[in-house]
Amino acid sequence: MNVLVWLAAILFILMILIGGKKGARSFFSLFLNFVVLLLTILFMTDPNADPIILTLIACAVISFINLFYINEMNSKTITAFISTIITIVILLFFIDMVTRNAMIQGFGEEEIEELSIFSLYIGVDFVKIGASVIIMSTIGAITDVAISITSPMREIFNHNPLISRKDLFTSGLSIGKDILGTNTNTLFFAFFGGYLGLLIWFKHLSYSVGEIVNSKVFSAEMISIFCAGIGIALIIPIASWINAYFLVKTRENNKIFK
Amino acid sequence: MNVIVNKFKEMTYKQIFLYIIIGLCFAASVFFVNHNYSFYERPIAKVIKTTLEDKTEMIDIHDNKDYLFNQLIIAELKNGEEKGRLIHLTNEYSSSGAYDQEYHVGDELFVSIDTNKEENTDLTGTIKDVKRDKHVVIIAWIFIFTLLMVGKKQGLFSIISLAANAVLLSYALDVYLSTSNMSLVVICSVSTILFTVISLLLVNGFNEKTYAAIVATLLGTFISLLITYLVMWLTSENGLRYEEMQFLTHPYRMVFMAGLIVGSLGAVMDVAITMSSSIFGLYEKNNNIPVKALKTSGMEIGKDIMGTMTNILFFAYISGSIPLLILYFKNASALGFTLSMNLSLELARALAGGIGIVLTIPIGLYTSIFFINRKRAKL
């Protein structure tokens, strides 16, 4: 039998054993996310579609699945969802500018030989696709940070119902600081694990530092890592602020009605 | 304005010193990447004028419509013997830009200069590559500043641990290449231990919480590696398409397995530290908390993080293949073929990482309880 089927089956069994119903839902969300990603890619092959807008829609659907399907719809997940979308929009503009200026779209010199049988003039905008790749690689981490901030903030609010908006915001920030390091680390290792072959290639062919830094594949990878880190850091104040705003606002509204 | 002044007064000398150092590093590195032409042996030219020559429509054999452009570029040489002279370049690019791009005034390019030239005529040459170092440096700084602004001290620590891990990884690969008789998997396993110890100690400091996380991370990573290896062995790697693995100079299976360890390590570490800090947190709040209560709360926390953590890895791995998938699809490749060619290794990595994450939940729970019990016995 196929390696992938086996690994997927093992993961599914483990998730159910350890997570029960929620585990099954987590596994199913992975599957749904795969389908969403695949559909997005298929839509991107249409030259008339804008990859940036497709990415935005895909990110909304993916965070919808990650937040509402796994964690159910409630005030915590709704603010997490709103902050995810705001962060993604800001990040998309930034990354689109970066990929345009640094010219890291498409394929590098090292990859192009294997692709010589393909026609490269396929009419889709690779700059925008490059931006979309970077966003997609962090969307998992961004929704994770969003929910990890809004959920404990809600607990703090419930324990101290009279807390001021500013104090609530600061407590959100300090929760965020704790996860910042581990989350950037997670992405960092994932990227380097994926590109280990590339690193060995550079070392083996003894590229000079100048050649490595300026090559398209390496700079694209570094820029992805940095942009992912920026995204993770950005969502912390955004999610804290929005959540503090909404929590305090609902408290004030309730007072009026009483 | 007053707020800023007050903020400034609150800062200690140590902080001011640190900010000044960071500011100086920033200024120095940005100055360097903008004036480092003489450090490169390859000629560099800065574009000063571009003119669009012509635009043609082209349709390839798969009916994809694209536009080809021809661009005349005048650029000034920035280094070497011909420094200061102008060079004429031509650039052909497409509107999709998979392997080419339009150049704009101010872009810096690596070029080669044609030699067979008579005196007093303009230099000509061909474009080799783009100078990207200044972009990488600027974005690195934006990254560092965002992390410092949001994370303050923790942000600084995460930058330090990223840098330390990068240096360590680079050194490990050097060791691997210089001693070719050592297996990459062995070297990566040793580095895994170092990565774990360094990162977790930096984030959490020397205490039982960290030790529990270190033990859980190592157990989780290696057990998931073992499971993956067993599956690969049992199925004789049916379904893994190594042909499309890029940049191959070394045994691909080895590189794949080593990448698997390194790739899942970060996520497993994250789960381990979340488990150990929340369980130790419960214990510290109430020293007499029964083990059974720790177990139920621990499993609840585990259930909460399981889904989002596997998603992080999944997207980090799969998204890199988007450009290739689009290229395959636009070249009329069948869906199944495209997916198995481009995604089999990424999916295997994501699934193996997911197995590591899920396994680390009970492992992290029980190692934390073990360390708590030992602490209790001492009291």
The span from the CA of A154 to the CA of B278, in Å, is 17
Q: What percent of chain B has pLDDT over 70?
A: 93
Shared domain for B125 and B217, answered yes or no, is no
Chain B environment of A144 (Cβ under 8 Å): 308-309, 311-312
Q: Report if residue A36 sits inside a domain.
A: yes
Secondary-structure breakdown of chain A: helix, strand, coil percentages, each rounded to the nearest 5: 85, 0, 15
Closest CA of chain A from B2, distance in Å: 19
Q: Report if residue B251 sits inside a domain.
A: yes
Q: Report if residue B212 sits inside a domain.
A: yes
Q: Which of B130, B157, B317 sits opposite A103 (nearest CB)?
A: B130
A87 part of contact set with chain B, CB < 8 Å: no
Q: Are B158 and A185 within 8 A, CB to CB?
A: yes
Joined tokens for residue A104: 């890291």
Shared domain for B222 and B109, answered yes or no, is no
Domain closes at, from B63, B98, B130: B130
Shared domain for B120 and B207, answered yes or no, is no
Q: What is the pLDDT of residue A168?
A: 93
Shared domain for B119 and B200, answered yes or no, is no
Number of domains comprising chain B: 2
Q: Which of B99, B101, B307 sits opposite A112 (nearest CB)?
A: B99
Q: Are B341 and B328 in contact (CB under 8 A)?
A: yes
Evaluate if pTM is beyond 0.80: yes
Render the burial of B269-301: b for 16+ CB within 10 Å, e for the rest.
bbbbbbbbbbbbebbeeeeeeeeeebeebbbeb
Q: What percent of chain B has pLDDT over 90?
A: 62
Q: Report if residue A13 sits inside a domain.
A: no
Domain assignment of residue A162, given as a range: 32-113+122-257
Q: What is the pLDDT of residue B250?
A: 67
Q: What CATH number is given to the structural domain containing B290?
A: 1.20.1640
Q: Are A14 and B314 within 8 A, CB to CB?
A: no
pLDDT tens per residue across span B23-43 = 999 999 999 999 999 999 899
Q: Which of A144, A185, A201 sits opposite B249 (nearest CB)?
A: A201
Q: Are A7 and B353 within 8 A, CB to CB?
A: no
Q: What is the pLDDT of residue B37?
A: 92
Domain assignment of residue B69, given as a range: 39-130
Q: Are B258 and A196 within 8 A, CB to CB?
A: yes
pLDDT tens per residue across span A110-163 = 888 888 889 999 989 999 999 999 999 999 999 999 999 999 999 899 888 889
Domain closes at, from B130, B146, B161: B130
Secondary-structure breakdown of chain B: helix, strand, coil percentages, each rounded to the nearest 5: 65, 15, 20
pLDDT tens per residue across span B194-205 = 999 988 988 788
Chain B environment of A186 (Cβ under 8 Å): 266-267, 269-270, 309, 312-313, 316
Q: Which of A140, A177, A219 sits opposite B316 (nearest CB)?
A: A140
Shared domain for B126 and B199, answered yes or no, is no
Q: Report if residue A17 sits inside a domain.
A: no
Shared domain for B191 and B108, answered yes or no, is no
Q: Are B192 and B218 in contact (CB under 8 A)?
A: yes
A residues 187-246 lying closer than 8 A (beta carbon) to B? 187-201, 203-205, 210, 213-216, 219, 222-223, 226-230, 233-234, 236-237
pLDDT tens per residue across span A134-149 = 999 999 999 999 999 9
Task: Indicate the SS3 state at residue B110.
Answer: strand
Q: Report if residue B331 sits inside a domain.
A: yes
Q: Which of B98, B252, B306 sits opposite A15 (nearest CB)?
A: B306
Q: What is the pLDDT of residue B7?
A: 64
Q: What is the mean pLDDT of chain A?
A: 91
Which whole number is the average pLDDT over B238-245?
76
Q: Report if residue B110 sits inside a domain.
A: yes
Q: What CATH number is given to the structural domain containing A74?
A: 1.20.1640
Q: Are A200 and B176 within 8 A, CB to CB?
A: yes
